[in-house]
Structure 1
Amino acid sequence: MAELNELISEQLFAVVAVLAVLVFLLLIIVLTQSVKLGRLRKRYERMMAGAGVEDLESLLLNLKMQTDSVEDEQEKQRRTMMMIEQRQRMAKSKLGIKRYNAFSDQGSDLSFSLALLDDMDNGIVMSGLHNRDSSYVYAKPVEQGDSKYALSPEEKEAIEQARREGRG
């Protein structure tokens, strides 16, 4: 019986020793996790400081709403920019002018032909004919660099000058 008590006592000691080692290892793990959790808490508090919210969920929702607002504004600006670009293409931005003496027997280079065209070579050509007694102004529509009305050589030259200006 003494042998049995001694054997049980040795096994009990071994079990207690193993349990003590396990408790010690678990204590080390708990302390390590506690230190990591403390660091994480400090980082969380630094991140949340000055955010004006109490928890991370509120912060994320606030950031999502701000991002959506920025995206909406960006889309509005993109549409506005496209509209401006379309209007710009239709603006009469190309100019050609030819001054000349319409009546060679009198006066000087007071007559003119003025072409105003957009990027698609649509617009008008205006001619002002000046002599000593009177002045006349004519306007003709221009579509794709030509008019359905007969054009004088000076009007054609003004249109070509405006078209060249657009290529440069």
Structure 2
Amino acid sequence: MDQYLEQPSAWATLGLLVLVLILLIRSFMLSSKLKRLRRSYTQFMEGTGVEELESVIINLKQRLDMQEEGQRNLKQTVQSLGDTLRQKKGNVGIHRYNAFAERGSDLSFSIAVVNDGEDGMVLSGIHGREQTFLYAKPVKDGKSEYPLTPEELEAISLASRQGS
């Protein structure tokens, strides 16, 4: 037998035998790990009614895409509502004053109704002893094509500060 082990082919055969034995053991170990993974996968998927994890992931991706689209739509709607709200003529400023300093009281007035961009109108009432005159002037960017009195400018300023 010693003569047999002295031959190089005997060593090669013995080395290959050991290598096969190591690979066989490694194969059994991998098989055992695979069984544990399958058992874990089966427990994970148990009760879901789903056979494949891939279909679950695809379904989740589709739902996520739908939610992102809905969020984009909501963001656009909120932005549109904000733009519309800024255009509404909801800022009101009232300035009362005495148009005739020598007599009377603060019965004259200027009312400005403007949006955040100072677009809207100003309405002034000049009260005298016998009658009251009303004047309406359109306002664009805080200015009018008709001359604005200091009282009307004050009413526009009050309305603009209300919107801030």
Picking from 57, 60, 83, the partner of 2:57 is 60
Picking from 119, 141, 149, the partner of 1:152 is 149
Structure 1 70/49 Cα, relative in aligned 2: closer, same or farther at 3 Å? farther
CA distance in 1 between counterparts of 2:45 and 2:129 reads 85
CA distance in 2 between counterparts of 1:156 and 1:15 reads 107
C-alpha contact (below 8 Å) 1:123/1:142 kept by paired residues: yes
Corresponding position of 2:28: 31
CA RMSD of aligned residues (A): 3.2
C-alpha contact (below 8 Å) 1:51/1:59 kept by paired residues: no
CA distance in 1 between counterparts of 2:46 and 2:85 reads 48
Q: TM-score, normalised by structure 2?
A: 0.76
| Number of equivalenced pairs | 162
Picking from 77, 80, 84, the partner of 1:83 is 80
Q: Pick which of 79-88 and 157-166 moved more.
A: 157-166
C-alpha contact (below 8 Å) 1:106/1:131 kept by paired residues: no
C-alpha contact (below 8 Å) 1:114/1:125 kept by paired residues: yes
Letter in 2 for 1:65: Q
Q: CA deviation at 1:83?
A: 0.6
C-alpha contact (below 8 Å) 2:124/2:134 kept by paired residues: yes
Q: Pick which of 97-106 and 12-21 moved more.
A: 12-21
CA distance in 2 between counterparts of 1:43 and 1:138 reads 83
CA distance in 1 between counterparts of 2:127 and 2:49 reads 76
Matched, 1:40 2:37: yes
Question: Runs of 5+ in structure 2 lacking a partner?
Answer: none
Q: TM-score, normalised by structure 1?
A: 0.75
